[in-house]
Chain A
Amino acid sequence: MKVLYLEDDPNDAHLVDLYVSASKHKLIPVQTVEQAWQAVAEDPQLILVDVILGTTRGGVDFARLLRGHGNRTPLVAVTALATDADVQEYRSAGFDDVLTKPFTITQLAQTITRHVPTWGADG
């Protein structure tokens, strides 16, 4: 099973990679919206997106792009910017869920399990 993770911070990407790899699944880490858009072709079962890329909300653009093309893959915003107004914006852009940084490894696990139900059984 494949999880796509759009994240420009290598530390955060590594942390999630450690967890997903430990669960015998595959993480596809990408740093830019362009790379992410190409990686969607690999048909991931879950897409995690850091909203703030550099100084722009590139993650929101990516979500709109994805949903605009009719792709319904579960989409989770992974961000430290999660005020009520922000969450509202993410949801309207097409995100299914928001994982607020900082997250514990448990919260990450729960979020992934919630959107990929077979995860626990396989892992």
Chain B
Amino acid sequence: MAAITPSYEIEDDLADERLERFRMLLNASLLATPFVYGLSFLFVEGGIGLYPLLFALTIVLHLFVGRARQVCAWIFVLAAASVPLYSLWTEGPGTHAAVLILLPVIAASLILDRDAVLWTGIAIVVAACAVVIHRYGLSTVWVVMPQPVILCLLLVVAIYWMQQSFLDVVHWATDLQQKDTRRAEAFYEQKQQLESAMLELKFANDKLGRMNDELDTAQRVAENASRAKSIFLSNMSHELRTPLNVIIGYSSSMLNMPQMFDNRRLPPAYRRYIQLVEESGHYLLGLINDVLDLSKIEAGKLELHPAPIVLGDMLRGVLTTSIALVKEKPLSLMPDFPDGLPLVWGDPMRVRQILLNLLSNAVKFTETGSVTLSARVEANFVRVTVTDTGIGISQDLLERIFERFQQATSDTERRYGGTGLGLDISRRLAIMHGSDLQVESTVNQGSSFSFTLPLATEAQIAELYGPALDDKKVTVFDEGEELMDVQTALVVEDETATRKLAYGVLEAAGYVVIETHEGRQALELAAGLMPDVILLDMSLPDMDGWEVLRQLKGQADTQAIPVVVFSAYPNGTHAEVADIAGYIEKPATADAILQGVNAALAVGAR
């Protein structure tokens, strides 16, 4: 679209038009002057004096009209005015003087603006009257001048009015045109804005399309990566677990199942190393499980399967499992929770995982003293705390312990081993249960880690068991498959080899085995964990086995637990003999131990 002239000057156009007319007038004068001169020479006697002068003036004006039009125009008008004045002076007032008086007015109207016409008209009238008064006296004016003056003034007024109307019309037309122009401009501007807006829109649309494509691609890449990661983790897990089965399977059977090898026991020189093989295998397995758990938690794919948990049973269960971790350390594992804890709401498997992580950490970093597992009801939740008397953590290192593959210091890493994934997982699991892992610690005095579990609501219990059930009758197997329908045996024996033999045999037969080498701890464990059967050695370092038996039978809650006496001494010298459920003579074979315990339980069941 072509650009539009923004404004329009009519005065300039009128001036151009006047210049054109002036040139035509001058040309006409040049042609007319010799003709008029000839006529004057023939008919007007002595009336030719002014004409050569006017002819010359016309030629001069013609030369300068391009450069000073306004001045030339005035000179021309003045020259035109000189003709009637000269005629009045020489010939006096007559008809042709009355017509000639109109000449300067017509000239002015052609080549000057309307104001100039007005002034020219007044000037020529005044000048003509002045000439007549001067030449013929005042009284003559009244006689000869009214006609030409009135004619002249009428012409001036007519021209003035016509030019005004013409200007008005031109102005009006110009206004219209300007309005149109403005409208066209506005329209054009709007159109341009619209076009540029459409261009921008198209550009933005293209960009959006591109971004959408990129987003799709990125999402596909991310999904592929996520799938690849899952497949990789699954494959890695499978590939690592397969050889671990040989490592763990053979080492554990060599250590605990001599009957699988024609009852040939592992020579003691090899035992320590096979144990290392087994422990390392379990360590690797734990690492694989932790890495899988973490990647699941991070991908948001770890789903909780919450259910009401009988917390007391679970706490006793994890304590039982953790006893194996204590090994030879002079360390007691203490339960500290009231009977009849209310049902809590959580994923049993994951809560157990948190507890085992915390307990194994506590045992790992505590050389002497105790590790206590406590639980207290606070408002509408239960706070579970694991407190140890271990090395502790200084305040500035407290945050570091939650970082992955980090322990408080590299020194502890060397001394205690471990990956440092456990606390991270525990904290994340606690967070998923609506809690967080809280740590309090004093260097060389110990640490305590705690988290909370919400109490199970009536609705949650009802959802799972139906509204008719009384929650006191609810039995929840929260210990996973391993402890379902499995009986617990407490082995009290200070001699390590014998204790391990009993442990191996009973565990292989499906018992969950708790071990201890002290009589006092045996009494605590029996009261706290309520095992199904106790295998009791009579010669213990801290107290007499018979005294342990007497106290067990003296307590109301432990009275019913069958006790199998395990001794090198012959039977029959003590009064408590009547209370024992069975007797195994040392040295005992694996079969003898298993049969003795099974028999005692069978009797107890009756």
Contact = CB atoms under 8 A, between A and B. Distances in A.
Interface of A: 9, 11-12, 15, 18-19, 21-22, 52, 80-81, 83, 100-110, 113-114, 120
Contact of B256 (A100, A106, A120): A106
Contacts of B510: 106, 109-110, 113, 120
A100 B481 CA distance: 12
18 contacts: A15-B249, A18-B261, A52-B238, A80-B240, A80-B245, A81-B238, A83-B234, A101-B241, A102-B246, A102-B248, A102-B249, A102-B281, A104-B249, A105-B252, A105-B257, A105-B508, A106-B507, A110-B486
Nearest to A80: B241
Given A52-B238, A80-B242, A22 B257 contact: yes
B337 interface: no
A92 to B, nearest CB: 18
Contacts of B256: 105-106
Contacts of B470: none
- 7 smallest beta-carbon distances between A and B, as pairs: A80-B241, A102-B245, A102-B244, A101-B245, A22-B260, A102-B248, A105-B253
Contacts, number: 82
Contacts of B457: none
Interface of B: 234, 237-242, 244-250, 252-253, 256-257, 259-261, 281, 285, 292, 481-482, 485-486, 507-510, 598
A106 B252 contact: yes
Given A80-B241, A105-B256, A110-B486, A15 B250 contact: yes
Given A9-B242, A11-B245, 9 more contacts: A15-B250, A80-B241, A83-B234, A100-B241, A104-B249, A105-B252, A106-B256, A106-B508, A110-B486
Nearest to B503: A106
A80 B510 CA distance: 22
Given A15-B253, A19-B253, A110-B486, A102 B238 contact: no
A104 B510 CA distance: 12
A120 B481 CA distance: 18
A100 B509 CA distance: 19
Contacts of B249: 12, 15, 102-105, 108
Q: Give chain B's interface secondary structure class.
A: helix
A21 B100 CA distance: 155
Contacts of B257: 19, 22, 105
A22 to B, nearest CB: 4
A24 to B, nearest CB: 10
A18 B260 contact: yes
B482 A110 contact: yes
Given A105-B252, A105-B257, A109-B508, A15 B246 contact: yes
Contacts of A106: 252, 256, 507-508, 510
B275 to A, nearest CB: 13
Contacts of A110: 482, 486, 510
A102 B251 CA distance: 12
Q: For B244, B253, B261, B507, which residue has the most chain A Cβ atoms within 10 angstroms?
A: B253
Contacts of B285: 102
Nearest to A17: B260
A105 B509 CA distance: 10
A81 to B, nearest CB: 5
Contacts of A113: 509-510
Contacts of A22: 257, 259-260
A41 to B, nearest CB: 28
